[in-house]
Amino acid sequence: MIAFLRAARLDVQESLRARWFLFYALVFGGIVVGLFVFGLTESRILGFTGLSRLLVTYIQLCVAILPIFVLITTVRSVAGDREAGVFEYMLSLPVPLSAWYWGRMTGRFTVVFLPVFAAMAAAAAYAEFRQIGVAWDLFAVYTLLLVSLAWAFLGFGMLISVLARSSDVAQTGAFLLWLVLLLFLDLVLLGVLVREQMPLELVVGLALLNPLQSFRTAAILLFDPQMVVLGPAAYVILDSLGAKGYLAFALAWPVLLGTGAAALGYRLFRRGDLP
Amino acid sequence: MIRFQDVAKTFRRTAVLERVSLDILKGDRIALVGSNGAGKTTLIRCLLGEYVHEGRVWVDGLEPRRARREVLARVGFVPQIPPPLKMPVGELVGFAASVCGSDPARMVAVMAELGLDYDRIRRLPFVKLSGGMKQKTLIGVALGRPSDILIMDEPAANLDPEARHIFFRLLAARKDDGIMLITSHRLDEVAALVNRVVEMDMGRVVLDDRVADTVDMASRMACRVTLVRPDEAFARTIADWGFEGGGTHWRGPVNGPDRLRFFAMLSRYTGLIAGLEMAEGKREGNPCATEKV
């Protein structure tokens, strides 16, 4: 347990020293500040009446930015250390591989999630300060959704990081995965499936296997319980799972995916050459 | 105590180790020598459980790959190339001490003995230190923890003469406690530290021999060198050895285990040497030892 905590701490401290973290924190902090500035400017007539719209916009921006940030910074973790020759020395110390791997992942999760959460929490705190009601239940679900999304891509990142023998290859792999999940599963694959007149349930089911899509859909559900913007897909989702059922799925599925990917990465890491 | 049995390792169809078998017993101080690509580092990484390989490696019946923690808890390791760690030195020492169950103060004490001002460097990123400072830090971590197997890859390469002397003395203090495995490209670098030489070539052990174990690792020779004429290149070289003087007369200490290296250096200036005088000086911890000329 000590080795696990030390490995996690090591990763946290390393990340806090890195420039990417500063940039990363600034991006998410900047988004919230930007949303406040524009939100307040554009609501002069009605005034700033609540946090819901800001949170929804923030979440939608997160879905575009968070995964690629998490992937790019995580894939450098194992592949970068291996490439730089850090493993030869650090893994000659009596650290169990499990403690090293999962400790690093936990540390990385802490640093990738905290700025995202802190920005959102700062927005909520501001709303409280202005005595504008904060829907804390909504805030909690958004937080859990972000945890779930960050964990999924962290797991993918760890897996790619173990598979790639250099950080260049790892970064390319990470970018391709993000592109595939962002574009292909949403647009290309679904377009093909619809044109081939596949059952709607299959099309929607496949789409929701994509953690980006399941997250995005859950975010829409929280803002628009009927999910009108999704059209017929909304019926399939709500008829099959119901609103609460779908939310549970959207929270659990990415966590399962991320854990599975990370576990596979660990298995490969343990079985292969370390340096 | 350590057994390599038919250990083979291949990287992309290139055999780096070919069925290496070797038994290492307590008290063995081995110079693992060989040219680049001979397989020394790969063999060490197999011993550290870092590589998947054919054959078996045991440390007191435990396989490093399966019982990492138990085996590595006994191993002090100094790599040839210091890792490019961005963490501050203090963090590295804290981490190493924590996972090794050791007292960081012991590691710091070894560093101080080697002449490293820990308080000055503890907040500096390890990667920003000079080569010698990195080496001293890693030696401090390796020797400042409880370990009976020392694995050192060119450990004294970046050390100044004074630090080398202290380093040899630290090794001398624990030479009978366990196993030392010191790799080097050149035997003269490590000859005096060891009692056994294993030479590797093209992934095979081509020589495994005992060597006379008479050199006192903590001894120091008082040396005078006289030249036929002053020479600028010689002056630079001998100053690096910590010698003082100038022109045609130089004097300074030579660590006992460094004698062979010193003679090898002098051999480059044979035509310049008019006289050489060497005497065994006072031994550390034995001030009554007599000098002999």
Q: Which of A89, A90, A271 to mutate to test the interface with B (most CBs of B within 10 A)?
A: A89
d(CA B1, CA B149): 10
d(CA B276, CA B266): 10
d(CA B224, CA B275): 8
Average pLDDT over residues B175-197: 79
pLDDT of res. A44: 47
d(CA B38, CA B32): 10
Q: Could you tell me if A145 and A248 are in contact, meaning their C-beta atoms sit under 8 angstroms apart?
A: no
B12 exposure class (CB count in 10 Å sphere: 0-12, 13-18, 19+): exposed
pLDDT of res. A180: 85
Per-residue pLDDT of chain A (275 residues; tens, 9 = 90+): 788 888 899 888 888 888 888 888 888 878 877 776 666 545 545 555 566 677 777 787 888 888 888 898 888 777 888 888 888 899 999 989 999 999 999 999 998 888 888 888 888 888 788 777 777 888 888 889 989 999 999 999 999 999 987 888 988 999 999 888 887 666 666 677 677 777 777 777 877 888 988 888 888 888 778 777 777 777 778 888 888 898 999 999 999 999 999 999 999 999 888 87
For residue B275, what are the contacts with CB-CB under 8 A and spacing of at least 6?
A: B224, B225, B226
pLDDT of res. B163: 81
Helices vs. strands in chain B: H and E counts, helices first: 10, 13
Asked if the Cβ–Cβ distance from A91 to B50 is below 8 Å, we say yes
pLDDT of res. A61: 80
Distance from CA of B72 to the nearest CA of A (A): 5
Asked if the Cβ–Cβ distance from B95 to A6 is below 8 Å, we say yes
B206 exposure class (CB count in 10 Å sphere: 0-12, 13-18, 19+): exposed
Q: Would you tell me how many other CB atoms lie within 10 Å of the CB of residue A176?
A: 12
Please report, as a single letter, which amino acid is at residue B3: R
Q: Could you tell me if B122 and B49 are in contact, meaning their C-beta atoms sit under 8 angstroms apart?
A: no
Nearest to A273 among B50, B81, B138 (CB): B50
Nearest to B95 among A10, A17, A97 (CB): A10
B244 beta partners: B251
A contacts of B87 (beta carbons < 8 Å): 10, 13-14, 17
Q: How far apart are the two ends of chain B, measured CA to CA in Å? A: 41
pTM: 0.79
Alpha helices in A43-135 (DSSP H): 52-84, 86-90, 97-129
Q: Which two tokens stand for residue A92?
A: 């000659």
Q: Would you tell me how many other CB atoms lie within 10 Å of the CB of residue A181?
A: 21
Decide: helix, strand or coil at residue B53.
coil
Average pLDDT over residues B25-36: 88
Nearest to A14 among B70, B82, B87 (CB): B87
Distance from CA of A3 to the nearest CA of B (A): 6
Asked if the model's pLDDT at residue B291 lies above 70, the reply is no
A78 exposure class (CB count in 10 Å sphere: 0-12, 13-18, 19+): buried
Asked if the Cβ–Cβ distance from B68 to A85 is below 8 Å, we say no
Residue among B14, B68, B7 nearest A87 (CA) = B68
pLDDT tens for each residue of A133-172: 777 888 888 889 989 999 999 999 999 999 987 888 988 9
